[in-house]
A and B are shown apart, each in its own frame.
Chain A
Amino acid sequence: MNSVSTKAYLDSLLEGRPEASPLSWLNELRAHAVDRVGALTVPTTRDEDWRFTDISPLTKLSFQPARDAQAIAADALQPWALNEAAARLVFVDGIYAPQHSFNNTGLTVENFAAGLERHGAAVQAQLGRHAAFEHNAFAALNTAFLHDGALILVPRGLAPAAPVHLLFITTRKHAANYPRCLVIAEPGSALTLVEDYVSLQDEAYFTNAVTEIALAGDAQLHHVRVQREGAEAFHIANCAVSLAPSSRYHSVSVALGARISRFNLGVLLGAEGAQCSIDGLALIGGKQLADTHTLIDHAQPQCTSRQLHKCIVDGAAHAVFNGNVMVRAGAQRTDSAQSSRNLLLSGKARVDTKPQLEIFADDVKCAHGATVGQLDLDEVFYLKSRGLSETAARNLLTYAFGAEVIERIPVATLRQRLEQTVMARTQSAKAVAGSAP
């Protein structure tokens, strides 16, 4: 597809934007984003950042934002309900669903309409400031549609134990959803947040999400992100995290669904003593493509980063991982370790992994590595020597490979459910794995 038609495609996506807001700064932000959408094109595999991910199937379909809320029964949400959650915001086809949402915390957990009234200044100071959209067509598109979303504001020193659950549900085919989340954690606060993308239907739709997270000094966030979109979905997401001194960001991102998914995670270790651990698992099969791009930016001295990214790829699926760790000049005493581990379950499965270490400081400790392989013969033999069948041994090892990431999720209900999902998926993969030589 040439750039003229990709431009026309982006223009077509701009249709159906929200009405003007009473807030002039918000209108200006959107207008700027519209300008950028006009200047940018849909990325192609000629763009270095999209080399392995051909997004062109998206441009062969048209998507429109939902105009009215789709009523869904409370029962329909049961499969995703988290017992532990003290607050939940539900968005149906991108539209806030107050009847399914609740907040039993002392925090601000509300949609933008309510949040902007009470916390306008705080939101204005952060919204659109972290997720850069100058050169990112999808982030720009999301920002052009900015009108509703989830606002979470954790006041100074507050550290509720129970998690906050953000649930984004798609019910309609050909829907274009622009989920937006803003998390502001004040000094010394702590929170566990679950960001969850699900579907009630299996036809094509388009989710284009942006999440911005600002952690003040000594704040801590556990962020669990679950992408379990419908089988034909396109899921593109950008998440930008900024860390102040001694703040800590821990995330586990799980990609299970969608026909094509792309997740960009940028973590800015912007002050001394900031720490992050970002772990990921992509478990895909069939003709799925799951692409994860991460950037850990060691911009200041004495920050720590840890990353474990795993892919389990079955069928003719394709996983992509690009993990950039940037250590800027002056970021001395940086401590960084990154590992990309990949398991191919079939002859047609494919992984492209690229750990990328760029170091401009001299007093640093950085380790990284990548492995791509099939199940280890000695591991299979160990289990068989204890009586397990070939199939049971392979299933268990495949499950274990994924479980190493899943078990880092600090919300028991979600962890157990995802363990079951991984178990079910790895057992259905056995026919292929078992027949491999």
Chain B
Amino acid sequence: MIYQDSKTLLAVRDLRATVNGIEILKGMNLTVRSGEVHAIMGPNGSGKSTFAKVLAGHPAYEVSAGEVQFDGSDLLGLAAEARARAGVFLGFQYPIEIPGVANSQFLRLAYNTVQVERGKDELDPLEFDDFVREKMKLLEMNPEFLARSVNEGFSGGEKKRNEILQMALLEPKLAILDETDSGLDIDALRIVAGGVNQLSGKDNAIVLVTHYQRLLNYIVPDYVHVMDAGRILKTGGKELALELEARGYDWVAAEAKEQAGARA
């Protein structure tokens, strides 16, 4: 939701990034204020997932130009773990399976790490167990997922619920959810979206990276951005997503080209 006088959480200016020497982000600009929900849409290969990973600090991507301010401080100078502790959360498109590590152990380690950073008390395994079970109810997750290895053998939907569970535990200021809707059936989509909505408030912000409009029926965005070739070409309200659903992406690129031509 858009609030008057809310503070700027994320300010991306002319961001360029490469992977293996190939430029993927070619001048990204985006401002996100607390309380807002943004959707970034666009065709395959437009750089949406790269943008999400660059913000989270994935080491395979090199930032070649531009700047990113998060909550008033430089974000790009921070290592991935420092960004997480500062309140940036990336919900993975393909959550990693970690055989041999119990999900409960992983969740508690992550939770306690962030708690310590915030000057709060760590929870011991018993305390954490009670705490996490409450959070799991939000996502209608079976507690048996605590004893299993992290994401191992989870279905697509279970993995995404586990991602949102981590978001619920870490309480980030900025959650970037990369294709959280992919691989979800309609029931799982409703549950996951319901969880995200409950976690969304006036002190945090959410950036949804998605291909499809259907997620936005459940998590209603304040802004919809269309990305193509490493930049945002067009920004609108939630109705833009419906237009994209009806007309596809090509017209956006054509329109942008026309405008560029008109300016030239």
Q: Is A401 an interface residue (CB 8 A)?
A: yes
Determine if A382 and B95 form an interchain contact, defined as CB atoms under 8 angstroms apart.
Answer: yes
CB < 8 Å neighbour of A386 from B60, B79, B149, B166: B166
Interface size on A, residues (CB 8 A): 25
Determine if B56 and A404 form an interchain contact, defined as CB atoms under 8 angstroms apart.
Answer: no
How far does the alpha carbon of A424 sit from the alpha carbon of B237 in the complex, in Å?
A: 54
Q: Mark A369-390, 1 if CB is under 8 A from B, else 0.
A: 0000000111101111111111
How far does the alpha carbon of A387 sit from the alpha carbon of B84 in the complex, in Å?
A: 5
Stretch of A31-39, A172-180, A197-205, A392-400 with 4 or more beta carbons under 8 angstroms from chain B? A392-400
Interface size on B, residues (CB 8 A): 29
Determine if B117 and A385 form an interchain contact, defined as CB atoms under 8 angstroms apart.
Answer: no
Most chain A beta carbons < 10 A, residue from B89, B90, B109:
B109
A-B contact count (CB 8 A): 79
B contacts, CB < 8 Å to A: 56-60, 79-81, 83-85, 89-90, 92, 95-96, 98-101, 106, 109-110, 113-114, 117, 149, 166, 170
> Given the complex, which residues of B lie within 8 Å of A376, measured CB to CB?
96
| B90 to chain A: closest residue by CB | A385
Determine if A387 and B57 form an interchain contact, defined as CB atoms under 8 angstroms apart.
Answer: no
Q: Is A232 an interface residue (CB 8 A)?
A: no
Identify whether the interface residues of A are mostly helix, strand, loop, or mixed. helix
Determine if B110 and A388 form an interchain contact, defined as CB atoms under 8 angstroms apart.
Answer: yes
User: Least Cβ distance of A29 to chain B in Å?
Assistant: 43
How far does the alpha carbon of A399 sit from the alpha carbon of B99 in the complex, in Å?
A: 10
| A404 to chain B: closest residue by CB | B100
CB < 8 Å neighbour of A387 from B85, B92, B96: B85
A-B contact pairs, 27 of them (CB 8 A): A381-B56, A381-B57, A381-B59, A382-B92, A382-B95, A382-B96, A382-B98, A384-B57, A384-B80, A384-B81, A385-B81, A385-B83, A385-B92, A387-B85, A387-B117, A388-B109, A389-B81, A390-B81, A392-B109, A396-B98, A396-B109, A397-B101, A399-B100, A400-B98, A401-B100, A404-B149, A407-B100
| A310 to chain B: closest residue by CB | B100
> Given the complex, which residues of B lie within 8 Å of A397, measured CB to CB?
98, 101
How far does the alpha carbon of A213 sit from the alpha carbon of B80 in the complex, in Å?
A: 52
Known: A381-B59, A385-B57, A388-B113. A400 touches B99 (CB 8 A): yes
